[in-house]
């Protein structure tokens, strides 16, 4: 009963950064350590540059937006939603440019074939209040979601139950008082550096997280492998499946245990034997 994907490439010699698929939409918010004050914001552009050669393979791929810092007039962070252009598969970086000068540049990004979706998970996240320098409470950011495709997969799942019973005073038989079931998955990251794990741990520290358009709630701490913390290593985290659909929704509906045919799922071997 996977919610996330359950397989990925086991190439332990490479460190995997974010993954882009041509034609897919992503969004980022840069919470600068030192907010910028470029006098001519309109001259800034978002380019995709080759990781090896630095060549600008696609220019002005998304509309950059200012997010003014209310406590620091004249200074701002930058946010952007964009679609990955149709480029050859390989390694790239995002670069915010002002003319020929680089304002800032991203970590390596792997543009892959969409049929490799099983290796990745599309993650969208935000917080109700400002967090880590992200100005979620600023006007215009009320519905802002960061959106990236990351090397995170589902390793296993289980059903957890919370049950309370009581004994009937009349006939001394046990009766159910409360019955709740939760769908819990164990998510695993690919082999990241310390900085990569810090970034993903920060994602899980937000109060609203969608993975493959399914709302999840962290259950445990983000746990990096103890034996390999000095090199590239995996990490795991347990997540409750909230079961509500991606925003915006008119009304929430619990979808955790839905199936195209629940009766068929419950029957042995998935066989439905009609009554004769």
Q: What is the DSSP secondary-structure string of 128-139? A: SS-BTTB-TTST
Provide CATH 2.60.40.10 ranges for the chain. 15-147
| Contact assessment for residue 13 and residue 162, using Cβ atoms and an 8 Å cutoff | no
- The rounded distance, in Å, linking the Cα atoms of 249 and 76 is 31
pLDDT digits (tens, 9 = 90+) for 30-70: 877 776 676 677 888 999 999 888 889 899 999 998 887 76
Selected residue with higher pLDDT from 86 and 66: 86
The whole-model pTM stands at 0.76
Least confident of 96-105, 171-180, 220-229, 260-269: 260-269
pLDDT > 70: what percent of the chain? Answer: 77
Tell me: the pLDDT tens digits for 11-27?
A: 444 456 788 999 999 99
pLDDT value of residue 84:
94
Q: Which residues pair with 124 in a beta bridge?
A: 147, 210
DSSP structure class, residue 108:
P
Of 230 and 28, the structure prediction assigns the larger pLDDT to 28
Identify which of 270, 208, 235, 226 has the alpha carbon closest to the alpha carbon of residue 15. 235
d(CA 234, CA 223): 9
Longest dimension (CA), the chain: 84
Specify the CATH number of the domain 15-147.
2.60.40.10
Q: Terminal CA-to-CA distance of the chain, rounded, Å?
A: 31
How many C-beta atoms lie closer than 10 Å to residue 154's C-beta? Answer: 20
The pLDDT of residue 187: 80
Mean pLDDT, residues 219-229 taken together:
70
The three-point CA angle 93-99-101 to 5° equals: 60
pLDDT at 195: 74
User: Are 206 and 239 in contact, with CB atoms under 8 Å apart?
Assistant: no
Of residues 126 and 199, more confidence is placed in: 126
Q: How would you label 173-189 residue by residue, b for 16+ Cβ within 10 Å and e otherwise?
A: eeeeeeeeebbbbbbbb
Name the more confident of 246 and 231: 231
d(CA 51, CA 92): 4
pLDDT in tens, 112-158: 888 767 778 888 999 988 888 788 888 888 888 999 998 887 777 77
Q: Which of 30-34, 65-69, 212-216, 259-263 has the lowest mean pLDDT?
A: 259-263
Mean pLDDT of 170-188: 80
Beta bridge partners of 80: 28, 64
Which residue, 74, 96, 120, is CA-closest to 30?
A: 96
Report the range of poorest mean pLDDT among 74-88, 96-110, 261-275: 261-275
The pLDDT value given to residue 227 = 55
């Amino acid at each position: 009963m996977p919610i996330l994907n359950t397989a990925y490439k086991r190439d332990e010699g490479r460190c995997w950064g974010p993954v882009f698929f041509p034609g897919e939409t992503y969004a980022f918010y840069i919470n600068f350590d030192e907010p910028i004050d470029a006098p001519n914001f309109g001259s800034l552009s978002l380019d995709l540059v080759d990781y090896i050669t630095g060549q600008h393979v696609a220019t002005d791929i998304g509309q950059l937006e200012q997010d003014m810092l209310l406590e620091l007039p004249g200074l701002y962070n930058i946010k952007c939603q964009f679609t990955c252009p149709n480029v050859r598969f390989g390694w790239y970086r995002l670069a915010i440019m002002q003319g020929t000068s680089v304002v800032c540049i991203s970590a390596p990004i792997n543009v892959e074939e969409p049929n490799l979706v099983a290796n990745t998970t599309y993650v969208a996240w935000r917080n109700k209040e400002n967090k880590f320098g992200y100005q979620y409470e600023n006007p215009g950011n009320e519905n802002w979601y960061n959106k990236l495709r990351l090397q995170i997969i589902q390793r296993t799942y289980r059903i957890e139950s919370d049950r309370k019973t009581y004994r009937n005073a009349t006939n001394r038989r046990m009766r159910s008082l409360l019955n709740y079931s939760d769908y819990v998955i164990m998510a695993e990251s690919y082999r990241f550096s310390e900085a990569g794990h810090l970034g993903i741990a920060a994602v899980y520290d937000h109060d609203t997280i969608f993975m493959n358009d399914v709302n999840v709630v962290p259950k445990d701490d983000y746990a990096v492998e103890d034996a390999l913390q000095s090199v590239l290593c995996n990490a795991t985290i347990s997540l409750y499946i909230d079961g509500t659909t991606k925003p915006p929704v008119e009304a929430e509906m619990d979808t955790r245990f839905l199936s195209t045919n629940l009766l068929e799922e419950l029957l042995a071997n998935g066989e439905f034997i009609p009554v004769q």
